[in-house]
Amino acid sequence: MVEMTENAPAGQAGKKDAGKGHHHGVPFAEAFRVWLRVAALSFGGPAGQIAVMHRIIVDEKRWIGEHRFLHALNYCMLLPGPEAQQLAVYIGWLMHRTWGGLVAGVLFVLPGFLSILALSYIYAAYGSVGIVAGLFFGLKAAVLAVVVQAVIRIGGRALRNRVMLALAAAAFIAIFFFHVPFPLIVLSAAIAGYLGGRLGLEAFSPGGGHKAAGGPVLSDADSALGEGIPDHARPNLAWSLGISAALLALWLVPVAALYLVLGPGDVFSQIGLFFSKMAVVTFGGAYAALAYVAQEAVQHFGWLKPGEMLDGLGMAETTPGPLIMVLQFVGFMGAFRNPGSLDPMLAATLAAVLTTWVTFVPCFLWIFLGAPFIEKLRGNVALAGAMSAITAAVVGVILNLAIWFGLHTLFAEVASVNFGSLRLDIPVLQSAVPAAMALSAAAAIAIFRFKTSVITTLMACAIAGMLWTLAMG
């Protein structure tokens, strides 16, 4: 049951009940409307989504203070999966218990899910025809500049010393030249960082982080929730185990049922298992995960062609919600091309739902299981060292993604050259695509020189791509 008190003004209620915390005077119906608004405005990747959430939840609604917001965000940064969506779950749970977290998390995903599903229908039906092909051609070229921006932004924050630079370089070499699986890179970095943290090495100590926007800082004491810990947010092992068992069942029982009924070779069994694995190892957000997803979806499963991953990322960039929603498109196309006895569009729709389910149900599990113990987690020096190392390795993986995207965007053909265990992808120079190069260069100038927003740049390139297609006849 959700307990709410609507009598006192928000700020006064927060101060009066600082020790209890949940008598904040924010009705559940108002929270529902606010989370729907946050979801509708969540463009621009995790940085943009966190900024929107901060502006609405902290600056405008004054539900929680600056320190509590950053405290929650830092915890979410430690977890696999989309940190912005998990932050919404955390704040929703903090304000209105379990139902608050569920509503905030589901609403954060819903607009993006519906948008990408609609775009996937169009892509599957008309993706290689005329003006629609031009739209995605333009998006693909612009996304290259966005990925490069991500490398610079994340690298500037994570690579703060020579050890972190070395970890990023090692990760890049491992995945680009030797095609080492992304989970193995994450595990190796985590072990190195954990040991460095345990030994007290300064290079592995946490540093940097997100900075709030300028202006007055809202203290926790002046917020609706107050500075105390709500009763329901205190560690309760029985509740944590109970909610975790329920979420584990919701996550894994459907996957196991598909595997047992349909067999390991069925596309739905493969989608359930593959994206469940991705939900556990996707540290560093969508850009980091895509390098591994692209490798498996294109080369192993044959769900996508190389350039189609870029089309999916373009969809995720131009719609609200987490960028990891691009996985929904991958699942959609995988089942569309391997529908079995089902109608291709029906199979693709079911696969999109399955992919989204196994991607986001674990996010609720991580928050509900760990949030009450957040202070202990944040005080663990070894864990902080492991996550610092993972973040550095992720930069190398994202650099690999940028190069991979660049090769398949700017050139129609890419050849693989093997030197023993080393494999190098080399572009066929005669297959260069001048229009893609021009659009990518224009997008880079817009983003880096004129500081144009990502959404504006993507939309402009999409229009340019359609016009170019029409002009070419």
Pairing of strands 414-419, 422-427: antiparallel
Spatial distance between the Cα atoms of 297 and 407, rounded to a whole number of angstroms? 17
Q: Kindly report the backbone phi and psi dihedral angles of residue 424, in degrees, each rounded to the nearest multiple of 5, phi listed first.
A: -120, 130
Model pLDDT, residue 286: 64
Kindly report the average pLDDT of the chain as a whole number.
83
Contact 182, 401 (CB under 8 A): no
Share of the chain above pLDDT 90, in %: 39
Spatial distance between the Cα atoms of 224 and 27, rounded to a whole number of angstroms? 12
Higher pLDDT, 362 or 416: 362
Bridge partners for 426 per DSSP:
415
Q: What is the mean pLDDT of residues 409-413?
A: 88
Contact 446, 457 (CB under 8 A): yes
Spatial distance between the Cα atoms of 108 and 34, rounded to a whole number of angstroms? 11
Q: Residues 72-119: pLDDT tens digits?
A: 886 787 788 888 899 999 999 999 999 999 999 999 999 999 999 999
Lowest mean pLDDT among 121-125, 350-354, 381-385: 381-385
Model pLDDT, residue 34: 95
Q: What is the DSSP letter of 296?
A: I
Cα 472 to Cα 62, 123, 134, 452, distances in angstroms: 53, 20, 10, 28
Residue the block writes with tokens 């079995």: 340
Say which residues have a Cβ less than 8 Å from residue 184's Cβ, sequence separation at least 6.
none
pLDDT at 20 over 50: no
Q: Residue 136 — pLDDT band, cuts 50, 70, 90?
A: confident
Highest mean pLDDT among 54-68, 275-289, 321-335: 321-335
Q: What is the DSSP letter of 217?
A: P
Residue the block writes with tokens 């297959």: 431
Q: What is the mean pLDDT of residues 207-230?
A: 64
pLDDT at 21 over 70: no
SS3 385: helix
Spatial distance between the Cα atoms of 330 and 119, rounded to a whole number of angstroms? 12
Residue the block writes with tokens 């660049």: 406
Model pLDDT, residue 13: 40
- Sign of the C-alpha dihedral, residues 38, 40, 41, 47? positive
Single-letter residue type at 260: L
